[in-house]
Amino acid sequence: MNNRLKELRQLHQWSQAELARKLGVSRQSVNGFESGKYDPSLDMAFKIASLFDVAIEEIFIYERTNAMPNLVDRVKNFVEEQISYLVEVGVMTAEELLERYAAQERDFSNLYLIRLNIGGKYPMGANLSGINLSGANLSESDLRKVNLSGANLSGADLSNCSIEKANLSGANLSGANLKNTLVNESNLSGANLSGASLKNTQIAESNLSGADLTGANLVYTNLTGADLTDANLTNTHFTYAIGANGRIINYNEALN
């Protein structure tokens, strides 16, 4: 989507840094908006239009060759359907996600949320219970101590994440990618991990009681001290995994 943001900024004789301060974003974000690298969120589009005192459609110009839903149509849908937010495909910061979650938005499916720093920035852990992050890209994110109980993370990319001491009880992690993820001391009781990939995953001392691990692939996964009481291990593969008793197990070998 093309836009007139640079033109309007220059008319006001503002630098990118000055505009960024007025919008409460980074200069890199302003540069990304101007270059068309990514579209602003719906809230940000309203903020930009208000700042320049013009209609949104006078700033953002939709090209019919662009496959991404245009911002003008999103605004019309916003008014017509009288809903608070629309699901977008794009980049979002931890601050934006938490802000929107606090405003009762729950659906962040298929968003590009790479390298979110929630656990590290908020030491006591953020509450994201019941959030929909299905198919979202959370690769390399810091989610330590975050409350994700009942969250929908099916098909989400959680590779290389840190979610130690997080609450994932009752979460749907079916088909999620947990490769190289740190899940130590987390609560996964009742979580659905069916078909999940847990290669090189660290889930030592985690609570997996009642978790569904049907068809999950646990390659070189550390399960030392994990509680697997009543867990469903049907067709679960343990390839050179460290079992709950601390010894190496293969495939469907019993966890004594």
Residue 46: domain span: 2-81
Report whether 218 contacts 201 (CB < 8 A).
yes
CATH number, domain at 11? 1.10.260.40
Please say which residue of 23, 57, 81 terminates a domain. Answer: 81
Nearest of 126, 86, 136 to residue 102 by alpha carbon:
126
**What's residue 61's pLDDT?**
72
Over 90: is that where the pLDDT of 199 sits?
no
Mean pLDDT over the full length of the chain: 78
Please say which residue of 34, 60, 81 terminates a domain. Answer: 81
Q: Give the pairing of strands 248-249 and 217-219.
A: unpaired
Residues 65 and 148 in one domain: no
Residues 244 and 140 in one domain: yes
Give the CA diameter of the chain: 72
Q: Give the pairing of strands 217-219 and 2-3.
A: unpaired
**What is the domain count for the chain?**
2
Residues 94 and 77 in one domain: no
**What's residue 125's pLDDT?**
63
CA angle (48 as vertex; 42, 53 as ends), nearest 5:
125
Report whether 162 contacts 182 (CB < 8 A).
yes
Q: pLDDT-derived band of residue 80, with 50, 70 and 90 as boundaries?
A: very low
Distance between CA atoms of residues 198 and 218, nearest Å: 5
Q: Is 27 helix (H, G, I), strand (E, B) or coil?
A: helix
Q: pLDDT-derived band of residue 227, with 50, 70 and 90 as boundaries?
A: confident
Residues 103 and 76 in one domain: no
pLDDT above 90: percentage of residues in the chain: 11
Distance between CA atoms of residues 134 and 153, nearest Å: 5
Please say which residue of 41, 63, 81 terminates a domain. Answer: 81
3-53 pLDDT per residue, tens: 889 999 998 899 999 999 999 988 888 988 888 887 888 778 888 988 998
Distance between CA atoms of residues 245 and 226, nearest Å: 9
Residues 131 and 7 in one domain: no
CATH number, domain at 241? 2.160.20.80
Distance between CA atoms of residues 125 and 145, nearest Å: 5
Residues 61 and 106 in one domain: no
